[in-house]
Amino acid sequence: MLRVISANLNGIRSANNKGFFEWMAEQKPDFVCVQELKAQEANLSEAMMAPAPCKGYFHYAEKKGYSGVGIYTPHEPESVVVGLGVPEIDAEGRYIELVYPKLSVVSVYLPSGSSGDHRQTAKYHFMEHFFAHLADLIARGREVVICGDWNIAHTEADIKNWKGNLKNSGFLPEERAWLTRVLDELQWVDVYRKLHPEATGEGYTWWSNRGQAWAKNVGWRIDYHLASCALAETARQAAIYKDQRFSDHAPLTIDYDFSL
Residue at 156: amino acid letter: E
In the annotation, is 109 catalytic? yes
- The rounded distance, in Å, linking the Cα atoms of 24 and 212 is 27
Instruction: Please say whether the beta carbons of 43 and 16 come within 8 A.
Output: no
Instruction: Please say whether the beta carbons of 31 and 105 come within 8 A.
Output: yes
Q: Is 36 annotated as a binding residue?
A: yes
Query: Within its chain, how far is the Cα of 220 from the centroid?
Result: 14
Query: Within its chain, how far is the Cα of 245 from the centroid?
Result: 17
Q: Which of 149, 158, 190, 223 is catalytic?
A: 149
How many helices (H) and strands (E) the chain has is answered by 8, 14
What is the rounded end-to-end Cα distance, in angstroms, of the chain? 9
Q: Is 143 annotated as a binding residue?
A: no
Q: What is the dihedral of CA 46, 50, 93, 105, to 10 degrees?
A: 180
- The rounded distance, in Å, linking the Cα atoms of 4 and 73 is 10
- The dihedrals phi and psi of 242, each to the nearest 5 degrees, come to -125, 5
Q: Is 209 annotated as a binding residue?
A: no
Q: Which of 57, 60, 95, 109 is catalytic?
A: 109
Instruction: Please say whether the beta carbons of 151 and 222 come within 8 A.
Output: yes
The one-character DSSP state at 101 is S
Q: Is 149 annotated as a binding residue?
A: yes
In the annotation, is 129 catalytic? no
In the annotation, is 149 catalytic? yes
- The rounded distance, in Å, linking the Cα atoms of 240 and 236 is 14
57: buried, middle or exposed (CB in 10 Å: 19+, 13-18, 0-12)? buried
Catalytic residues: 109, 149, 249
Binding-site residues from annotation for Mg(2+): 8, 36, 149, 151, 248-249
Binding-site residues from annotation: 8, 36, 149, 151, 248-249
